[in-house]
């Protein structure tokens, strides 16, 4: 087997995050689902953008955020995702390449426009996300470069992208390519509503042994297993995947790999400013550790350190030097 060129290649939604602080009153006034993620159409996205205060734009999307964290930790990464030929598409391309991630998926002509996520952040740090998925839903299997997929040690798939038909078939194809090349497949469930819609698919992938590393939070685990007791849920899935990583927000995280279990507490933090990207950055720390052959506990600690950094400020991109931070905390 050839030496991998990349630590991780990810397939995910190519989304531009548009973030703005706001009051709880505005959330009520706009009748938004506080703390949740709601899909909106292009008209809805325009309406919410008009109601926003001053905002900052940065390339986002769950898997892209994870890669940005990994790149900051020194990992070699590439991203596959669909943007449109428009201004926000240019923002996405520039931002992701600027943090050292290879991104060569050709932009798509015509409508719909590039995906965006309008994020309203209340004073308690809770983020309310309203996502117009636009062009990101039209990633065709033809946009995949099989050689590129096979050149990464780990293929990382974003559950959000399982919803639309084209990207779903692209991801199934990528899983086949990665497995034939002897690479690992990592999967993040993304959100409970995705599991509610595609749980049978995900459970089949798990049962067929197609997933090597599975990331879930406690709510997603409950949706996947139908078991509200966290420990019971863990034991139901742990035997079916080589590595299970389950996060529990302030209660820390658990990982089970080949029968070995490790657990870490959440990293202490003075104030939670914005929880956007906490799970994405946890995955970044864990996957970087895993790619380097670190122990299960060290991988979890790296995840917890990265997640704590990200929730201490606005946005899903690190502001501190993650590499130095992890090195200092791990001692």
Q: What is the pLDDT of residue 1?
A: 66
Q: What is the pLDDT of residue 134?
A: 95
pLDDT per residue as tens, the chain (331 positions): 688 999 999 999 999 999 999 999 999 999 999 988 888 999 999 999 999 999 988 888 999 999 999 999 999 999 999 999 999 999 999 999 999 999 999 999 999 999 999 999 999 888 899 999 999 999 999 989 999 999 999 999 999 889 888 999 999 999 999 999 999 999 998 888 889 998 999 999 999 999 999 999 999 999 999 999 999 999 999 999 999 999 998 899 999 999 899 999 988 888 887 777 889 999 999 999 999 999 999 999 999 999 999 888 877 788 889 999 999 999 8
CB 11 within 8 A of CB 155: yes
CB 72 within 8 A of CB 280: no
Structure tokens at 31: 């009748």
Q: What is the pLDDT of residue 316?
A: 76
The pTM (predicted TM-score) of the whole model is 0.91
């Amino acid at each position: 087997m050839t030496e991998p060129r990349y630590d991780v290649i990810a397939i995910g939604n190519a989304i531009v995050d548009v973030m703005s602080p706001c009051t709880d009153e505005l959330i009520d006034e706009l009748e938004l689902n506080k703390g949740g993620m709601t899909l909106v159409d292009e008209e809805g996205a325009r309406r919410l953008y008009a109601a926003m205060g001053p905002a900052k734009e940065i390339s986002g999307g769950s898997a892209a955020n994870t890669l940005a964290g990994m790149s900051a930790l020194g990992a070699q990464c590439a991203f596959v995702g669909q943007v449109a030929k428009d201004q926000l598409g240019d923002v996405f391309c520039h931002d992701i390449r600027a943090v050292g991630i290879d991104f060569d998926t050709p932009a798509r002509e015509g409508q719909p426009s590039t995906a965006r996520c309008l994020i309203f952040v209340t004073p308690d740090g809770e983020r309310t996300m309203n996502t117009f998925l636009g062009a990101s839903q039209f990633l065709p299997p033809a946009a995949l470069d099989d050689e590129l997929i096979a050149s990464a040690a780990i293929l990382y798939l974003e559950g959000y992208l399982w919803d639309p038909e084209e990207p779903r078939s692209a991801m199934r194809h990528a899983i086949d390519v990665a497995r034939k090349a002897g690479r690992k497949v990592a999967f993040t469930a993304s959100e409970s509503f995705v599991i509610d819609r595609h749980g049978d698919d995900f459970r089949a992938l798990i049962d067929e042994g197609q997933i090597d590393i599975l990331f879930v939070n406690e709510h997603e685990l409950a949706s996947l297993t139908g078991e509200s007791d966290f420990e019971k849920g863990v034991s139901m899935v742990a035997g079916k995947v080589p590595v299970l990583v389950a996060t529990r927000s302030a209660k820390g995280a658990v990982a089970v790999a080949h029968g070995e279990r490790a657990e870490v507490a959440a990293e202490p933090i003075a104030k939670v400013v914005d929880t956007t990207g906490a799970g994405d950055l946890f995955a970044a720390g864990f996957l970087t550790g895993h790619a380097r052959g670190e122990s299960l506990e060290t991988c979890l600690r790296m995840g917890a350190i990265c997640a704590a950094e990200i929730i201490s400020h606005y946005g899903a991109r690190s502001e501190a030097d993650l590499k130095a931070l992890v090195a200092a905390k791990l001692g």
